Amino acid sequence: MKKQLALFICILASMIVVNSPVLATSDKVIKIGVVYPLSGAMGLVSEGIIAGHRTAADVIMKNGGFQGHKVEFVVRDDTGNPELNTRFCRELIINEKVDWIFSGFGSSVGLSAAAVAKQLKTPTFIIGGATEKITCEEWNPYIFRYRPTSMAEANAVAKIVATQMTKGIKDPKIFFISWDYEYGKSLHKPFMKKIKELKPDVKIVGEAWPRTGETDYGPFISHMISTRPDVVVNAIWAGGVVSLLKQGSARGLWEITKFIGTAEPASIEYRKAMGMDMPEGAWGNTYDDPTWPDNEMQKKLYDSYYQYTGKPRSDPPPAVYSPGYYMVQLVNKAMEKAGSIEPESVIKAMEGLEIDTHLGRIKIRDFDHQVTSYYIWGPMVTQKGLPYKVLDKDRIQLLNCEPDLYSKEEWLKIREAAGKK
Amino acid sequence: MEVVITLFLDGLSRGMIYFLLAAGLTLIFGVLNVINFSHGAFYMLGVYSTFLAVKYMNMGLAFIVVPIFLALIGGVAEFVLFRRIYKSEHVMQILLSLGVIYIISDSIRLIWGVAPKSVTMPSFLQGLFRSGNLLIPRYNLFIIIVTLSIVIIMFLILYKTKTGSIIRACTINQELTSCAGINVPSVFLLVFMAGVGLAGLAAVIAAPVVTGMLGMDAQMIIIAFSVVIIGGVGSIAGALIAALIIGVVESLGILVLPGFAETFMYIIVVVVLFLKPDGILGKPMT
């Protein structure tokens, strides 16, 4: 009898131990596969995002987050190529057995990462792919997107062009330039629609569609010079926009026209790369600015950056650091809400989740998994003593993308029209 | 009309850079019978070297230092590597050049990192030249004038000097040239160095208007080979005509079919291969 009781207690104890979430899973390392362009025309910004991921994970782990588990990042360089992105996402999920994928720096790679997420049922956080399709026609329950959509950007650009850059100009002339791929196309249509609404007398004097990753913008610049636009609206990004701006400066393009760019040309990374070659008064957007809004939350965010990277305080954090940081925070908060690290539970917990950021509150919409994130827009001007341009604080605009996103009804209609459930 | 003129001049300036790059390649191909796929990688090295030269010296000195530096690197590559495969099949030459591409690319990555590099144009060359309603980037005019001068010097060397005669003789018949007492391996070394030096010159001239980026060699080598094929292997004059055609077609092509401007170059290659397989000014290959 005593032996049976002892055996029963042993069995009961082992069941408790095996099923205890802390003890049973404490050896489990949460693996996050990171697939970004680390080189080439698109490689200018990925380092900053990865620093954001790692710092956030470090801070959270020190405070016992991720349900007591460690987090490990496994990084791959897709060079911005969708085929490589697909290959690496699949390899990370199948061979490295990652629990999450962070990817999609670019609309084409965002779509390819979303397709892999659906096929292999792995939660995927897309940082930078802007095309509406990712969270609309090609949406699946495993994807989340951080950055504002191309439609939100397009509407913001149209408003700024109409109210700031062509104020008082009769029959303003616009030239549109973008890489010939998904992002540019997805931005072009809503921009054209919105600008014609806001400025019916606008004239589109030209469009240019260089191939993705182009480094020589000579003929396109000559084309723009000859059409003499009032504003050049640009959707080229990363190393491409640096090339376009520098080559445009060298050829005198910005003497005769103004520039506004999407996809974050006002980020500190680009401003430093451009130096004083950035055209005076050029407008752009950015995820973050080292000197604005300069609140306590931003200071704390940057403290963690300097602690983790060991970089001097004179070196401002890259603009993509904060979205990289908040992405990891969102995942952790969802794990807290779910009380679990199990992906399906975490996905459910992410829907409707809100966190505070230094720019304001952001939320993951429950039906399309789009984060209602912010962009800072502003013109770039000279500041004495600095070797690069700064955002003009008097004209900064903080825009949340939520007003420009599809409503749930619109979203359902578009998906129905595309034959999706 | 102004649009067409501006783009035409832009095309001419692009064509001039293509010519400098392709002239080196056609010399190497024509004299040494070597398919040097690493020619684009040497050009890429030239762009990065220009960045360094401008950083520590100035653009004027870069015009001298970078081509000489590249010629020396080319000389080492020829002496150590390429000379061993002159009589090998072309597939071996391609494999070797691929290896050289990786060596150059990884060296650039180690020294300069992966971030794009750009060269600031001298201020007196920046901006626009205005003539009535016409606005032309000053640097485009600079490229045309400087490269034309280099073309004239090249033709004078090739057709008016003893060295040029020897090089042309090697293109026609290496064995006969050797029988005449010429040290053909030395000529090969000189031609290879000159070819890579020309790539360096193309890089210096192009550097203020392009962005140094890993992978830029891939596009340039395709253009260079297209110029060689269209112009005719070993023909400098043919390379000049072909380069200008490609440059102008690329520039004007963005007006006609913006998304397909590059395709026109390949169409020209196909048409030339179909109508005159040896190229515009090429001689039949024996």
Q: How many CB atoms lie within 10 A of CB B149?
A: 10
Output B32-37 pairs: Cβ under 8 A, ≥24 positions apart. Answer: B32/B82, B32/B86, B32/B188, B32/B191, B32/B192, B33/B86, B34/B82, B34/B85, B34/B86, B34/B93, B35/B90, B35/B93, B35/B94, B35/B97, B36/B82, B36/B93, B36/B97, B36/B195, B37/B94, B37/B97, B37/B98, B37/B101, B37/B221
Q: How far is A270 from chain B (nearest CA, A)?
A: 11
Nearest chain B residue to A247, by CA: B209
pLDDT 10s digits, A232-260: 999 998 878 988 998 898 889 999 999 99
Residue position matching structure tokens 């530096």: B69
Rounded Cα gap, residues B93 and B82, in angstroms: 8
Q: At what angle do helices B216-231 and B39-56 cross, to 10 degrees?
A: 120
Tokens 């997805």, residue located:
A186
User: Rounded to an integer, what distance in angstroms lies between the CA atom of residue A304 and that of residue A53?
Assistant: 12
- Token representation of residue B149: 């001068």
B:222-251 residues touching chain A, CB 8 A cutoff: 250-251
pTM of the shown model:
0.81
Please give the radius of gyration of chain A, using alpha carbons only, rounded to the nearest integer.
23
What is the rounded CA–CA span in Å between residue A133 and residue A121?
Answer: 19
For B192, the token pair is: 């290879």
Question: Domains in chain B and their CATH numbers?
Answer: 2-115+135-275 (1.10.3470)
At residue A205, the 3 state secondary structure works out as: strand
Q: What is the pLDDT along chain A (421 residues), one digit of tens a residue?
A: 566 665 555 555 444 444 444 433 457 899 999 999 987 666 667 888 999 999 999 999 999 879 989 999 999 999 888 999 999 999 999 999 999 999 988 888 999 999 999 999 999 999 988 888 999 999 999 999 999 999 999 999 999 999 999 999 999 999 999 998 888 999 999 999 999 999 999 999 999 999 887 888 988 999 999 999 999 999 998 878 988 998 898 889 999 999 999 999 999 988 988 888 899 999 999 999 999 999 999 999 999 999 988 999 988 999 999 999 999 999 999 999 999 999 999 999 999 999 999 999 999 999 999 999 999 999 999 999 999 999 999 999 999 999 999 999 999 999 999 888 7
The pair phi, psi for residue A72, each rounded to 5°, is -130, 135
CB contact under 8 A, A43 and B11: no
Alpha-carbon distance values, A147 to A135, A178, A365 (Å): 11, 19, 13
Residues of A in contact with B6 (CB under 8 A): 222-223, 225-226
The CA distance from A316 to A374, in Å, is 20
Identify the structural domains of chain A with CATH numbers, from first to last: 21-149+318-372 (3.40.50.2300), 151-292+374-408 (3.40.50.2300)
Whether A264 and A284 have beta carbons less than 8 Å apart is answered as yes
Summarize pLDDT for A100-136 with one digit per residue, the tens.
999 988 888 999 999 999 999 999 999 988 888 999 9
**C-alpha–C-alpha distance, residues A389 and A280, integer Å:** 8
Model ipTM value: 0.78
Q: What is the DSSP letter of A180?
A: S
**Which residue out of B114, B123, B140 would a mutagenesis test of the A interface target, given it has the greatest number of A Cβ atoms within 10 Å?**
B114
Residues in chain A whose Cβ is within 8 Å of chain B: 38-41, 43-44, 180, 207-209, 211, 213, 215-216, 218-223, 225-228, 239, 242-243, 246-247, 249-252, 255-256, 273, 277
Model pLDDT, residue B236: 87
Rounded to an integer, what distance in angstroms lies between the CA atom of residue B220 and that of residue B44?
9
Q: Give ∠ CA B184-B189-B192 in degrees, rounded to 5.
A: 120
Decide: A377 and A285 in contact? Cβ < 8 Å. yes
Looking at the complex, report in whole angstroms how far the Cα of residue B195 sits from the nearest Cα belonging to chain A.
Answer: 23
Please indicate whether, in this complex, the C-beta atoms of A44 and B115 are within 8 angstroms of each other: yes
Among A209, A219, A243, beta carbon nearest to B211: A243
Minimal C-alpha gap between A363 and chain B (Å): 34
